[in-house]
Structure 1
Amino acid sequence: MSTPTFSTPEGLRALLRRFADPTDPASWDGPDGAALARFCIARFERMARKFRQPREDAASFAFEVMCDPHLLQADDPWAVVTTAVRRDLSAQLMGESLLCGDRTARHGVDVHDPQRITDRDWTFLEVHLAGPDTGDDGQHPRQTKAGDIAPVELQAAVDDAVRLFGSLGWPRGAARFALEYIGSRLELAGNPATAFEYLRRDKVARARLDIDQAAWTAVLTAVLGSPHPDRALVPAGRGMLLRMLAGCPVDEVLTDPALTSALASSVPRDKAVRQ
């Protein structure tokens, strides 16, 4: 396989200039962007493994740097990108070790001693799965605390979600990639809102799935729930994974017209993830 032209500093600069030119057909969401995403995943895989981080995260960090117009002025754009990716991966690893955000870890501000979720009396799952009080009829919503959700339960919810995606036209491979990608970020972030905000800006998954920003945001809303705090405890505002973990059957989730419409209208076009 021939080496892509953007593997060189000048080649990358030329491609980024094309992305910035509104009259050029090349775009982040098109074939060129997808090829660049795959190249970044392969290029930074070893570095990501060194810092015990997903290789897709490394590629996402690379894309964030590439979106900065100042990169076009750098003598060696790839050198700048590589340095930034290494910094961000290191900060993310430190943030996980200290159980704080990678931004805090990078700047060393208010870094606290590690405190695991299981050391607390509640988690975000308890809040999201509890839902509103049902009154005095004896029917109480599920209360979930740290450790109540076993890995097998989470895997079962993901499997059910894959089948739900498939019933709405999603190829199985694309559905599993999307759900596992979102799930890995949710696990790192610790709460749906933070995961949603990070993933909303993520270009790697969009390039891999070959869907636009609106479709990707619709998928995130369906899986993680509404990013608006005032809808967080409303059943329709919670993501399908949390609803399934709370015991909501797939058939009931499928009765949500907004969710099914969002997923049906965002089916990927990329044949590479259809298997």
Structure 2
Amino acid sequence: MHHVCPDRSRVVPHPEGLRALLERLHDDGNGAWRRDADVAALMEYTAGRYASLARKHGLDPWEAASAAFDAMRTPAVRTAEDPWAVITRAVQVTLIAEERGNGLLCSTHQARRPQYSGFHDPERFSDRENPLTNYHEALQVAPAGEAEDERDEKATGVVRAVEDTIKLLTLLDWPEQTARAAIEHICTRLGEAPSRASAAESLRRDRHARAVLDLSSTSWNALLRAILGNPDPDQAHTAVGRGVFFRLLVGEPLRALLTDDDLVLLLGLNAPTLAGAR
């Protein structure tokens, strides 16, 4: 019996060629992926196709090929209008989770969970440009008898504003777990950024957080506009300019926000469940 070498030319990279190959492998049943002569060439082509994406996330091309292999065996890929597009998305999400897991020193499975999206990679205080005392109140020395009550009151106000923001989102059909993870991530970025405007711009470009939270760009951008407001200086003293979080921090009650038709429509119509259905 002669050994059959995989022929790269037989693996058609076009969507219909890929679909035909995947359907044949599926129809051949168990063991087809091990026996078929085209599989090795397909996986070699796939590793090359996603090599740059893998390097972008600090990973080996064959890790991308492995993620693609898992996706290729699913019905979603075989029935998709463009199988390569579905595979590319699956590979991208897996590589993001792999990179995130490596950075957080946790499993890829944990890194995929929304509640971990607010965490950043371990880092040394000495690697930061700003003084150590800027990062935790316990490291700051205030004059005796000064500001302790004020700090407690401020911290309580922030916690209340965060919880009310999450409650507002859940009342407008946002899943609670997604809402909490998203708001905690936004608050983390606010604490790290020099200004609200820079935090908003950084978050707007944060594709990694959006992928981990599994939010469409429509839902993510609507959430940022609602929570952080419009950075335009001309809008600074309007409800649109201030945003939900600021309005709650200055004492505006949650029930007042629920009477803001523009805000309710913005968040309600862009809730993940509705945005995904459109």
TM, length-normalised to structure 1: 0.55
- Distance across 2 between alignment mates of 1:217 and 1:98: 33
- Distance across 2 between alignment mates of 1:27 and 1:228: 39
Matches within 5 A, 1:154-165: 154-165=158-169
The 1:40–1:58 alpha-carbon spacing in structure 2 relative to 1, beyond 3 Å, is farther
Match of 2:103 in 1: 44
Secondary structure of the residue that 2:129 maps to in structure 1? helix
Match of 1:132 in 2: none
The 1:235–1:154 alpha-carbon spacing in structure 2 relative to 1, beyond 3 Å, is same
- Distance across 1 between alignment mates of 2:152 and 2:105: 35
Checking the alignment, whether the CA contact within 8 Å between 1:221 and 1:227 is kept in structure 2 is no
Match of 2:270 in 1: 266
**How many aligned residue pairs are there?**
183
Match of 2:61 in 1: 9
Q: CA RMSD in A?
A: 3.8
1:206-235 CA-to-partner distances (Å, cap 9, x unmatched) read 112222223211101111111222212222
Gaps of 5+ in 2: 1-46, 48-53, 69-81, 107-115, 135-139, 143-149, 274-278
- Residue 216 (structure 2) aligned to one of 208, 212, 228: 212
Checking the alignment, whether the CA contact within 8 Å between 1:211 and 1:267 is kept in structure 2 is no
The 1:96–1:38 alpha-carbon spacing in structure 2 relative to 1, beyond 3 Å, is farther
> What percent of counterpart residues are identical?
30
1:59-110 CA-to-partner distances (Å, cap 9, x unmatched) read 8xxxxxxxxxxxxxxxxxxxxxxxxx99xx679951343899xxxxxxxxxx
| C-alpha deviation, 1:56, in angstroms | 4.9
More helix by share: 2
Gaps of 5+ in 1: 17-22, 48-54, 60-84, 101-115, 119-145, 270-275
Q: Which moved more, 1:255-264 or 1:91-100?
A: 91-100
Match of 2:256 in 1: 252
| C-alpha deviation, 1:246, in angstroms | 0.7
The 1:13–1:57 alpha-carbon spacing in structure 2 relative to 1, beyond 3 Å, is farther
Checking the alignment, whether the CA contact within 8 Å between 2:190 and 2:199 is kept in structure 1 is yes
| C-alpha deviation, 1:239, in angstroms | 1.3
Match of 1:173 in 2: 177
- Distance across 2 between alignment mates of 1:155 and 1:201: 26
